[in-house]
Structure 1
Amino acid sequence: MDYKRLIIRGISYSQTQSGAYALLLEHEETNVKLPIVIGNFEAQSISLGLEKDIHPPRPLTHDLFSKFVITANYELTSVIIYQIVDGVFFSNINFKNKENKEELIMDARTSDAVAMAVRFDAPIYTTHQVLNEAGILLELEDVSKEVEMDEPVANEGDLSTLSISEINKLLEDAVREEDFDAALELQKEIKRRNKKIE
């Protein structure tokens, strides 16, 4: 399968879900962004995994599992986000035994998979289908300049009353403000309208 490599662009506090964070992954070639809602513990663990110089006084769960993987003579070779169902991402962690090269694939929550990947500097991949379903692409040149200073407010259920240029403007604002939940809803509305045109 033709997998698309993702890089971590950042983690921000989710504006729509209390106590949750948005992990932002990006496809390097197309700049399509994949926002994933994760919990507080996972956000902290990913952040600490990215900061190689910071070591907590006691090992976190992902540090403990990483130590076990190394002790068992395995390496983490990649993470694959292979599916999204009803807004839930499904991922596999791929391991390889250093001695006999035996491969091991484990099902994992995406947040845990990414937290492990950063500890092993392992690549993160996804499929074209996942990027197509949940990815957000900001095409600034397509955003209409005709939107006045009084910008429309995106409330659930009223998107049907807005023009495509107004929705594009809201999408641009949502991504700039790192409100990825709202951006995902706006992107879905744009895709829905494009399907109608086809």
Structure 2
Amino acid sequence: MDYKRLIIRGISYSQTQSGAYALLLEHEESNVKLPVVIGNFEAQSISLGLEKDIHPPRPLTHDLFAKFVTSANYTLTSVIIYQIIDGVFFSNINFKNNDNEEELILDARTSDAVAMAVRFEVPIYTTQQVLSEAGILLELDNPATIDENFSPLEAEGNLASFPLEDLHKLLEDAVKDEDFDAALEIQQEIKRRNKKIE
């Protein structure tokens, strides 16, 4: 299968879900962004995994599992976000046994898979279908006029009443404000209209 490589663009506090964070992944070639809502612990664990100079006094769960993987003489080779159902991402963590080269694939929450990927510095992939269903493409070249005081969250229920060019502007503003929940709603409305045009 032709997998699309993702890079981590950042983690931000979710503006719509209390106590949650948005992990922002990006396809390297198309710049399509994939926002994944994650919990507080997972956000902290991914951040610590990215900051190689910071070491907690006691191992976190992901550090403990990473140590176990290494001690069992396995290598983590990649993470694949292979599916999204009802807004939930499904991922696999791929391992290789260093003794006999056998592969081991474990199902995992995407937040846990990414936390492990940053510890082993391995690539994160997804499929074109996941990018098409949940990806957000920020089109900066699209000229649009819209009220600057308008909030995308207020618009979510009324997106059908906006012209397409205004939706592109709303999408751009939502991504700039790191409001990925609203951006996803707007992107879905744009895709729904594009399907009608086709």
Corresponding residue of 1:98: 98
CA apart distance, 1:152: 4.0
Corresponding residue of 1:5: 5
The alignment's TM-score, normalised by the length of structure 2, stands at: 0.96
Calculate percent identity across the aligned residue pairs: 79
8 A contact 1:152–1:166 mirrored in 2: no
RMSD: 1.0
Distance across 2 between alignment mates of 1:176 and 1:161: 23
CA apart distance, 1:149: 4.5
Distance across 2 between alignment mates of 1:192 and 1:143: 20
CA apart distance, 1:139: 1.1
The alignment's TM-score, normalised by the length of structure 1, stands at: 0.96
Counterparts of 1:31-180 in structure 2, within 5 Å, are: 31-144=31-144, 147-150=145-148, 152-154=150-152, 155=154, 156-180=156-180
Aligned residue pair count? 196
CA apart distance, 1:143: 3.5
1:35-90 CA distance string (max 9 Å, x none):
00000000000000000010000000000000000000001000000000000000
Distance across 2 between alignment mates of 1:112 and 1:94: 13
Corresponding letter in the other structure for 1:73: N
What 5-or-longer segments of structure 1 have no aligned partner? none
8 A contact 2:142–2:169 mirrored in 1: no
8 A contact 2:146–2:166 mirrored in 1: no
What 5-or-longer segments of structure 2 have no aligned partner? none
CA apart distance, 1:160: 1.1
Q: Secondary structure at the match of 2:141?
A: helix
Q: Assess, with a 3 A threshold, how the Cα gap between structure 1 residues 151 and 12 changes in structure 2: closer, same or farther.
A: same
Q: Secondary structure at the match of 1:157?
A: helix
